[in-house]
Amino acid sequence: MAIALVLGATGLVGRELTKLLLHHQQFSEVHVFVRRRTGLHSPMLYEHVVAFDRPEQWRDEVKGDVLFSAMGTTLKAAGSKEAQYKVDYTYQYQFAQAAAQNSVSRYVLVSAANAALNSLFFYSRMKAELERDVLRLPFEHTSILQPGLLAGDRQEKRTGEGLALKLSGLLQHIPGLGMLKSIPGESVAKAMIQTATRQKEAKRIYNMQELFLLAQHYRNQ
């Protein structure tokens, strides 16, 4: 039985992931690191309400078998590029560092389909920088998932993202534009667990098509 650590448990993917882990036969404990309570209840669930800007207060608690990292925000919600970078890069990288130092063996990161260091877009460069840097950490197994637009019920409403989802539904049927297809947050969560329990390679990056396949083969065992 493994101990799971979850970063981003109040977000779309992280919340679905946490719910799945709490009913998964291969996990005995689920530790979530959050700024506010998740509202979920289970004898397997351990909630660590932390100040992410104070790693000295939480780094010693990042101990277990696998760290699932699904934290993220939008530029609008963060208020500035600097604030978004802190959430999407700094906090996640600091947690990955702490996990590696505490001998956590597996690391699973939700990145983005358009991550690229040479991108013209700030968001894509930020995601690529995080991918590059966590791949340098000494985990036994590192999994990076690159989903496209995420679909599902969010606790926070994102108007622009809602419009993008509608557009995605139309464009995915045009030949050559299938890569614009959206993916449910629950499917990404299932793919995360699949990689954590089945990946044998030391390092691997999964594209959108592979995430759908992983979710289809998900088993609670």
Cβ proximity of 69 and 94 under 8 Å? no
Among residues 93, 71, 55, which one has the least CA distance to residue 7?
71
pLDDT at 167 > cutoff 50: no
């702490």: which residue's tokens?
Answer: 98
Angle at 68 between CA 184 and CA 7, to 5 degrees: 90
Residue 156's pLDDT band, with cuts at 50, 70 and 90, is low
CA distance 147 to 60: 31
């993008």: which residue's tokens?
Answer: 164
Residue 49 has what pLDDT?
A: 97
Q: pLDDT tens digit string along 58-67?
A: 999 999 999 9
pLDDT at 73 > cutoff 80: yes
Domains and CATH numbers, the chain: 2-216 (3.40.50.720)
Per the model's pLDDT, the better-predicted residue between 61 and 221 turns out to be 61
DSSP state of 157: -
DSSP string, 112-138: -TT--TT-SSHHHHHHHHHHHHHTTS-
Among residues 116, 173, 137, 148, which one has the least CA distance to residue 62?
137
Ranges assigned E (strand) in 70-116: 106-110
